[in-house]
Structure 1
Amino acid sequence: MEKNTYTDPKLWLPTSVKEVEALGWDRLDVIIFSGDAYVDHPSFGAAVIGRVLQAHGLKVAIVPQPNWRDDLRDFRKLGRPRLFFGISPGAMDSMVNHYTAARRRRSDDAYTPDARHGMRPDYPTIVYSRALRSIYPDVPIIAGGIEASLRRVSHYDYWQDCLRPSIMVDADVDMILYGMGELSIVQLAERLASGERISQITDLPQSVILRPLSEMPSADSGNIILNSYEKCLRDKRLQSANFKHVEQQSNRIHASVIWQPHGDRVVRINPMHPPMTTAQIDASFDLPYTRLPHPRYKGKTIPAWDMIKHSINMHRGCFGGCAFCTISAHQGKFIASRSKESILREARQVTRMADFKGYISDLGGPSANMYRMGGRNLSLCERCMRPSCLHPKVCPNLNNDHGPLLDIYRAVDELPGVKKSFIGSGVRYDLSMHVSGDERVDRNNRRYNEELIRDHVSGRLKIAPEHTCDGVLSVMRKPPFSQFYEFRKIFERVNRTCGLRQQLIPYFISSHPGCREIDMAELAAETRDLNMHLEQVQDFTPTPMTVATEIYYSGYHPYTGERVFCAVSPEEKLAQRQYFFWYDRAYRQGIVASLRRLHRPDLIQRLFPGYNSRFDVSPKTKAAPSSKGRYSGKSNNVASGQKHGSTRKQR
Structure 2
Amino acid sequence: MFLPTTREEMEKLGWKELDIILVTGDAYVDHPSFGVSLIGHYLVSFGFKVGIIAQPDWKSEKDITRLGRPRLFFGVTAGNVDSMVANYTASMKKRKTDDYTPGGISGKRPDRATIVYTNLIKRCFPGVPVVLGGIEASLRRFAHYDWWSNRVRKSVLVDSKADLLVYGMGEKAVLEIAKTLAETGDLEKCKSICGVVWWTSQKPSEGVELPSFDEISENPEKYAEAIKLQTWYTDPHRNIPIYQRQDTRYVVQNPPQPPLSQEELDQIYLLPFEREVHPFYARMGRVKAIETVKFSITAVRGCFGSCSFCALTQHQTTHISYRSEESILEEVKLLIKRKDFKGTITDVGGPTANLYGSRCTVRETRGQCRKFCLYPGVCRGVQPDHDRFIALLESIRKLPSVRNVFVSSGIRHDFVFAENDLDIFIRELVKYTPGQLKLAPEHAHPKVLSLMRKPPVELFLEFKRRFEAFAQKMGKKKYVIGYFIVGHPGEGWKENNYLRDFILRHLGYFPQQIQIFTPTPGTVSTAMYYSGIDPFTGEKVYVEKSLKVRNKMKENVLFKKRREEK
Which TM-score band applies after superposition, normalised by the shorter structure?
Answer: over 0.9
- 4+ long deviations beyond 6 Å: none
**Rounded Cα–Cα distance in structure 2 between residues aligned with 1:506 and 1:43:** 25
Report if aligned partners of 1:33, 1:64 keep a CA contact under 8 Å in 2.
yes
SS at match of 2:191: coil
Q: C-alpha separation between the residues in 2 aligned to 1:127 and 1:198?
A: 22
Does 2:78 correspond to 1:102? Answer: no
Task: Work out whether residues 334 and 374 of structure 1, in 8 Å CA contact, stay in contact via their aligned partners in 2.
Answer: no
Corresponding residue of 1:89: 78
CA separation of 1:331 and 1:265: change in aligned 2, threshold 3 A: same
Q: Which residue of 2 aligns with 1:55?
A: 45
Match of 2:399 among 396, 399, 415: 415
Residue 353 of structure 1: how far off its partner (Å)? 2.3
Matched, 1:73 2:54: no
* 1:200 CA displacement: 3.5
Aligned to 2:349: 364
CA deviations 1:9-50 (Å, max 9, x no partner) are: xx2210001111111111111111111111111001111111
Equivalent residue for 1:249, pick from 212, 233, 237: 233
| Cα distance between partner residues in 1 of 2:28 and 2:19 | 19
CA RMSD of aligned residues (A): 1.5
Once the two structures are superposed, what CA deviation does each residue of 1:61-99 show, in whole Å capped at 9, x if it has no partner?
1011111112x1111121111111111210011111110
Alignment-mate amino acid for residue 510 of structure 1: V
Q: Deviations over 1:227-278 (max 9, x none)?
A: 1101111111111111100111235532410010011110000111122210
Q: Does 1:293 align with 2:283?
A: no
What residue identity is the alignment partner of 2:485? I
Deviation at 1:331, TM superposition (A): 0.5
Report the Cα offset of residue 585 of structure 1: 4.6
TM-score, scaled relative to structure 1: 0.85
**Deviation per residue, 1:288-345 (Å, 9 max, x gap):** 1111111223443110001211111111111101110001211110111011111111
Label 1:575 to 1:251 Cα distance change in 2 as closer, same or farther (>3 A): farther
Which of 417, 420, 428 in structure 1 is aligned with 2:412? 428
* 1:253-272 aligned within 5 A: 253-272=237-256
Deviation digits for residues 141-196 of structure 1, max 9, x if unmatched?
11100000000011111111111111111112100111111111111111111114
Q: Tell me what 1:216 maps to.
A: 204
Task: Write the distance in 1 (CA, Å) between the matches of 2:176 and 2:189.
Answer: 14
8 A Cα contact 2:235 2:368, kept in partner: no
Cα deviations by residue, 1:408-453 (Å, 9 ceiling, x for unpaired): 1000100111101111112111001225xxxxxx23x432211101
Q: Show structure 1 runs of 5+ residues with no match.
A: 1-10, 436-441, 588-617, 620-651
Q: Would you say 1:546 and 2:530 are equivalent positions? A: no
Pairing 1:382-461 to 2, within 5 Å after superposition: 382=367, 384-386=369-371, 388-435=372-419, 442-443=420-421, 445-453=422-430, 455-461=431-437
Which of the pair has more CA radius of gyration?
Answer: 1
TM-score between both structures, scaled by the size of structure 2: 0.97
Aligned residue number for residue 260 of structure 2: 276
Does the CA-based 8 Å contact 1:368-1:426 persist in structure 2? yes
Residue of structure 2 equivalent to 1:323: 308
Cα distance between partner residues in 1 of 2:491 and 2:245: 34
**Structure 1 position 199, deviation (Å):** 2.7
Q: Secondary structure at the match of 1:564?
A: coil
Find the counterpart in structure 1 of residue 326 from structure 2.
341
Query: Which amino acid is 1:216 matched to?
Result: P
Cα 1:137/1:553, change in 2 over 3 Å: same
Matched, 1:505 2:481: yes
Q: Tell me, what secondary structure is at the counterpart of 1:320?
A: coil
Tell me how far apart the structure 2 counterparts of residues 383 and 326 of structure 1 sit (CA, whole Å): 16
1:516 equivalent among 492, 506, 509: 492
Say if 1:460 and 1:505, in contact at 8 Å, map to a contact too: yes
Counterpart Cα distance in 2 of 1:400 and 1:415? 26
% identity of equivalent residues: 38
**Partner amino acid, structure 2, of 1:404:** R
- Residues 414 and 455, structure 2, Cα contact 8 Å, conserved in 1: yes
Q: Following the alignment from structure 1 to structure 2, what is the Cα–Cα distance between the partners of residues 248 and 183?
A: 22
Does the alignment pair 1:355 with 2:340? yes
Give 1:461's aligned amino acid.
Answer: L
